[in-house]
Amino acid sequence: MNIVNRFLAVIGLVILAIFGAFALIFPSWTLTFLQSAADAGRNLFGETTWALRQIIRTVAALVYLALMGLLIWLELRQPNKKTVEVVNASGGRVRIATTDVQQRLTREIENLNGVISAKVNVSARNKGIHTETDAVIMPEVEGAGKGDEIAQTIRAVAEQQIGVKLLSKPQVSVKIGKVKGSNKLKDLLSPAAPNPAAPSAPLPTLPALPNSNPEVIVVSKPE
């Protein structure tokens, strides 16, 4: 509804500015134009009966009131819910705060290898949630693959661990960032240094991502 409000406000202000400036500069022409418009409105139904004119005007008024009522309802309707229902709860009806879901998803994403920071926006609708995620990753990390991993992490944590339903695919925006400090980049991308006395073990490999419909990913160049 914010987009509709902004659109209507901009259009209304533009029309009011143009008409107001014209009326201040040419007041007599403005009054003549309004009088001509009123005469045209009367002549439009001049050959019809009074009853038909009243019916047409009533229908037009009802349509106008319905449109205004719809806009008012959209403006006053309940905003995004602050809690969402846990769908797999068997002992009763359980609801969880969307802020808790948001914090959990943010923490899980930031724990992924190669992710510098993440910001998750969770909105609750009906009996599920929509998620929008902005993540900053290392320059050495492949953006599309990391974005797909983030999307799969969101789905797994939300549906399997927290127990809330995703109403749409996770929307993920990936930005390639920079890390300050020469050693921080190495520490985030590399595992801890092995003990020289202990034999070196092979590095664990991430499981292959399943072939599924790709989530929406936006990858930007490093700044």
Flag whether pLDDT at 171 surpasses 70: yes
Domain end point (choices 43, 59, 76): 76
207, part of any domain: no
Mean pLDDT value of segment 54-77: 84
Q: What share of the chain is helix, strand, coil (3-state, %, to 5)?
A: 50, 20, 35
Alpha helices in the chain, H assignment, sequence order: 2-25, 27-44, 50-76, 98-110, 143-155, 184-189
Bridge partners (DSSP) listed for residue 129: 124, 166
Q: CA nearest 166: which of 178, 176, 152, 145?
A: 152
> Domain ends where: 30, 57, 76?
76
The model's pTM is: 0.50
Q: Which domain holds residue 8?
A: 2-76
- The sign of the CA dihedral 5, 10, 13, 18 is negative
Residues 89 and 155 in one domain: yes
pLDDT 10s digits, 2-42: 676 777 778 888 998 998 898 899 989 988 888 888 777 77
Q: Is residue 97 part of a domain?
A: yes
Is 43 part of a structural domain of the chain?
A: yes
Within-domain flag for 201: no
pLDDT value, residue 188? 53
Task: Establish if 202 belongs to a structural domain.
Answer: no
Count of C-beta atoms within a 10 Å radius of residue 98: 19
C-beta neighbour count of 163 within 10 angstroms: 15
- 28 and 95 part of one domain: no
The first and second tokens of residue 144, run together, are 């599309």
pLDDT value of residue 150: 94
Among 76, 107, 142, the domain-final residue is: 76
Domain check: are 121 and 168 in the same one? yes
The residue-averaged pLDDT of 91-100 equals: 86
**How many domains, in total, are found in the chain?**
2
